[in-house]
Amino acid sequence: MKEQYKIPDVVIRRLPRYRRCLEELIASDKDRISSNALSEITGFTASQIRQDLNNFGGFGQQGYGYNVKELHKAIGRILGNTRAYNLIILGGGNLGHAIANYTYLQKEHYFLKAMFDVSASLIGTYVNGTKVLSYSELDGFLDGNKIDIGVICTNKSSAQEVADKLVAGGVKGIWNFAPIEIKVPETVVVENVHLSESLHALTYYINRTE
């Protein structure tokens, strides 16, 4: 599915929040919702919501609002949630453990296939049902398994080397938690979670508010 033009990245990043709020509405048996009501739940303005959804053809009907289940399904389709993804975690520290235990993954058809670490005490053990392997097994593992996403939870100095192995092994997406800009070919997508950037944005706004 290709759009006619490039949807702005900020719009893409709002879609999962819409979807999450719609899930809560489904859980509370709500069938339809106006953009005004959706605005209250999501914290985005109603006109922002209408504008965002119009990027994909719009899903609302004048005087009716949005059908909750249909909109939820449509956003899921846009975000690529109609298929399953195989993941591996690189780095079995606290963060790697946190992600292996992240219940959202199972719920949304993200399948964690293995975790890789250097620690002899960790290799061979299981984290939330996922086996920890040695990095020496990584290339072979990628040869034998179709992995969509590599989650980099290593330290800064190992991140690029690990990313290179992932790319060579056919991984299409890297979810990078290491505090470094990883270089990959254009055919591979990197999504960074740089906690320091989020923390600095927080302190910026704290100082603006005070």
Q: Residue 174 CB, nearest distance to a second copy (Å)?
A: 8
Q: Does 170 bind a second copy (CB under 8 A)?
A: no
Under the binding rule (CB under 8 A), the answer on residue 113 touching a second copy is no
- Under rule CB under 8 A, residue 17 binds a second copy: yes
In the chain, what's the furthest Cα-to-Cα distance?
A: 62
Q: According to the binding rule CB under 8 A, does residue 5 interact with a second copy?
A: no
Please give the distance of CA 149 from its chain centroid, rounded to a whole number.
10
Query: Closest separation between CB of residue 103 and a second copy, Å?
Result: 9
Q: Which of 42, 52, 53, 169 binds a second copy (CB under 8 A)?
A: 42
Distance CA 181, CA 171 (A): 17
Structure tokens at 29: 């048996």
Residue from the set 45, 101, 125, 136 that interacts with a second copy by CB under 8 A: 101
CB count within 10 Å of CB 38 equals 23
Stretch that binds a second copy, among 8-16, 26-34, 64-72, 160-168 (CB under 8 A): 8-16
Please give the full DSSP string across 98-153, using - where no structure is assigned: HHHT-HHHHHTTEEEEEEEES-TTTTT-EETTEEEEEGGGHHHHHHHS---EEEE-
Under the rule (CB under 8 A), what is the footprint of a second copy? 1-2, 9-10, 12-13, 15-17, 19-21, 41-43, 78-81, 85, 93-95, 97-99, 101-102, 104, 108, 110, 148-149, 172-173, 175, 179, 181, 186-189, 191, 193-210
